[in-house]
Structure formats: C-alpha cells, structure tokens
C-alpha cells in the first residue's frame, strides 16, 4: 500500500490536509491521536481537530508502538509525530519507526509531522534533542514514503522523490 508524509509548521494546515486526503480515500479511517492534553490551550486545539473529523472515523490514542495502530482495512492517519516523539527516548523512537515502515506494506498510512529545522536552534538541550530526533524521524519516513507534501499557509507543495 502506501505511506504519505505531510509536513508543515504549527497552524500551517497540515492536519486539515491529511484529513482531506483520508476522507477522499473512500475507505474507513482510523485516526491515531498523539497529543497529551495537559492545559486548556491544548484541550482547545484537540477539540478543534475533533470537531473537524466525521463521526464515523475511529479515534484511538497512540501508544509506544505506532505500527500496532495500523489496520489493513482502513486508512490510518497518525497526527502528529512531534507530539508522539516528545518524552520518548531515541532508541524507542527509532525502533517504533522501523516497525511502522515495515508494516506499511499492508496498510494505507498518513503521518502528520512538524517540519524540523525551519527556525533557530533551541538553546535548551531537551528541545534540541527533540528537534534532532524529529528531523531524523521525518527523514526516515520520507525515505519510505510514496508521497511527501509540505503545507505552508494552507497551500500544499508536493515534494519530489529523491
């Protein structure tokens, strides 16, 4: 089947683009959410995303093993990679992404991720480690993807294959 990677900055429209692709597939959709709701601002963001999704979509929380969320009878939309990476160690992320890439052959998968490296290098070492791991993760997924798109201000740029 296929892996699609949708990249973009915060509030770029990347999630809406991924949702539109999933809806246009004509298949069942399994939405895998990664956000940890720890304050009212994040709760509002999650509520906005939930309100956009059709009620027929199945929604599940992401666990440590993203590949376990894949279903061969549905499009699996994982939103978003950066939130999932936060708080996980490098080895866990690398292993989980390797399993995800291995399992894509039997599934249709859309992954939403923040575009790494478009701003200043963070001074905080934890933020820097997260950014480095996110960049590595998006490169890993892009190498395995049949389609990679960059969303900027709601506009979509399809990135060519290597």
Other C-beta atoms lying within 10 Å of the C-beta of residue 9:
15
Catalytic status, residue 145:
no
CB 5 within 8 A of CB 148: yes
> Choosing from 9, 23, 46, 49, which is the catalytic residue?
49
* Phi and psi angles of residue 62, each rounded to the nearest 5 degrees, phi first: -70, 140
User: Which residues are catalytic, by number?
Assistant: 49
């Amino acid at each position: 089947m296929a892996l699609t990677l949708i990249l973009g900055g915060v509030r770029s429209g990347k999630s809406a683009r991924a949702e539109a692709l999933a809806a246009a597939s004509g298949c069942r959709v399994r939405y895998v959410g990664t956000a940890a709701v720890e304050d009212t601002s994040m709760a509002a963001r999650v509520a906005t995303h939930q309100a956009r999704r059709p009620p027929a979509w199945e929604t599940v929380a992401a666990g440590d093993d993203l590949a376990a969320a894949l279903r061969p009878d549905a499009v699996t939309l994982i939103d978003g990679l950066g939130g999932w990476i936060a708080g996980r160690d490098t080895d866990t992320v690398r292993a989980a992404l390797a399993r995800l890439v291995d399992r894509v052959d039997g599934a249709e998968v859309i992954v939403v991720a923040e575009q790494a490296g478009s701003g200043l290098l963070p001074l905080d070492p934890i933020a820097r480690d997260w950014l480095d791991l996110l960049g590595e993760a998006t490169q890993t997924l892009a190498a395995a993807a049949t389609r990679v798109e960059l969303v900027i201000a709601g506009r979509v740029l399809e990135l060519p294959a290597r």
